Structure 1
Amino acid sequence: MPQTLHRAHNFNAGPSALPLSVLEKAQAELLDFRGTGMSVMELSHRSAAYDAVHNEAIALLKELMGIPDGYEVLFLQGGASLQFSMIPMNFLQQGQKAAYVMTGSWSEKALKEAKILGVGEAYEAASTKEENYRRIPSIDELKYQPSDAYIHLTSNNTIFGTEWKEYPNTGDVPLIGDMSSDILSTPVDVSKFSMIYAGAQKNLGPSGVTVAIIRKDLLEKANNNIPTMLRYETHAKNNSLYNTPPTFGIYMLGQVLSWVKESGGVEAITKQNVEKANLIYDVIDQSGGFYIGHAESGSRSLMNITFRVKGEELEKQFLVEAKQEGFIGVNGHRSVGGCRASAYNAVPYESCLAFSDFMKKFMAQHG
């Protein structure tokens, strides 16, 4: 008899869950991709077969996100962390300033990299660090200058479980968003941004690919007196094929985008994400303080639900029992501790329901 497929309740913060149907299709095509007699991993990145994969992924992303004309879609490497350096290299000139909104560890790292370069001046436009990043600053709290090279924000904060619900209109100041943790989880008005970037390993596919969506008028202002591979212009002029791209990762990204489209698009995914997150947030809110949410209600992330269990020893027991019950990745980030359920797009509703039931059961036994 065939072995029953075992799938964990995967709440890892990244690399994270992928849709089962995508994995099954990749498995079926692994040895012979579209009649080529080769795996997609064996195709030349200059071949017509791979070219179709590459361009299909770009077209799907443009369709699903409603990316207007006048933007380049790039597939890069190095994760969001490399973008922390590439952005000021390309867009922050000597004598200019760049504003960074501090909402967590990743925005801190982005600011740190901009300061390391020593070109221009990178400064804080707003920060909620003194409140342990429990909320997103209001738009009225943002302090930046009309002459700034750009303003940078992190749309979702995996460690602290907060998420922007509304984005500022920054006028002539280019707005740049790190959307690594929530891209495609809810609709976004791309036209508000001059650049959006995201590591793939949470909502777009496996690790190894970084998506950058850049408005062409921002690209025209870029500093080209930097190494070739660190210029966005290099990748834009070569359709992200200047060097060998992460071909299998881009193939998988395209398959995930197809899954989003087949699932009803971003609007349908959003509806399910709200339902999934509410299963867990409702248990927290109705626990009478047994579970303590980290984020303020108006800033809560749909993707990363962060909380503590009342009592240090009880929290340790909760995490042990959760793992025993098949819930993977619910430990909070090592820098802050606590608990975190990352309910990305591909995490099934059934996993969130099972986790909320486990939380209720644990509270009934120990509350």
Structure 2
Amino acid sequence: MTPPMLDRQSADISTAQTANGWLARMREKRITLAHGSGGKAMRELVEQLFVTEFNNPLLAALEDQAVVPLDELQQQGTRLAFTTDSYVVNPLFFPGGSIGELAVHGTINDLAMSGARPLFLSCGMILEEGLSIDTLGEVVSRMKHAAREAGVVIVTGDTKVVERGAADKLFVNTAGIGVIRHDVAISATRARPGDVVITNGYIGDHGIAILLARNELALESSVESDTQPLHELVQEMVRVCPDIHCLRDATRGGIATVLNEFAASSNVGIHLSEAAIPVHETVRGACEILGLDPLYLANEGKLVAIVPREQADPIVEAMRTHPAGRDSAIIGEVKETPNGAVVMATAFGGTRVVDTLIGDQLPRIC
């Protein structure tokens, strides 16, 4: 849902008008230090690329801040959710997405995990001298389309340029604002014995997709990143059960890290069933070859929820009606013990501790 203070027709620019049109008007085809100097080159980059692609009235004012009417926000909820995140993924483009989609989806999802409806994003970019402006334009275009499809707008931003070698092509920082309705109170401290653990689908796709996209291993696979916005799925879950206890997207550290955070914050034990956790066979096979554990692999479109047992089946049923939740499944339950720990019943009939990730299985995955 687009924020009501923005007229979508006035904000839209047709693809035919903008596709590479701004690039032809740029005097430089690569980023130079002048693009970060605050002078004409920087103004040209901002106006020709960012303002053109992210086109909306709040951004077009070109002030140092976006000014948002509060009365219209108050009609949608009683509290603001505010988050920020930075993206340094390598490579910039990979099967299923790019750093552009990650930056938009990741920030939307961080807001959504509080039950908020995301409305506004900022975009800050650290550009390396020598970066192709065409590459930058592709990233910005993907951000534009991801934001538009999710119904949010990018209303303010910043660019900085660093010397060649001081960064790896392009880093993105995004912040986001959303509104939470009055009857939602999601927190990592609210897991209770008897609750049920739910995820919205297959885990580990993003981590394996990034690894294979680096061409560092002689493996062939069709795995794509699962990057996607989850706010509409969460709104469907909240519609069925406003009393969702815990909710988080399983990015770095995977679902294992998220569940350990829930267990520690709520002082409960979380018991998983390995057989119930959705993992694509291609991901499972890659993990076996590489010695990785899918529970710790990064995701960019997967959430973990802890809900009251009596609401679990209706929530899963509702989730499966949404494209982002077609493969939703109950994967475990909450018990009193072991306090602050996660354990899993394995496919071989044993039990193992699922600890918090130590170190980093895969660097630069988001």
Give TM-score scaled by structure 2 length: 0.25
Structure with the largest fraction of strand: 2
Structure with the largest fraction of helix: 1
Give TM-score scaled by structure 1 length: 0.25
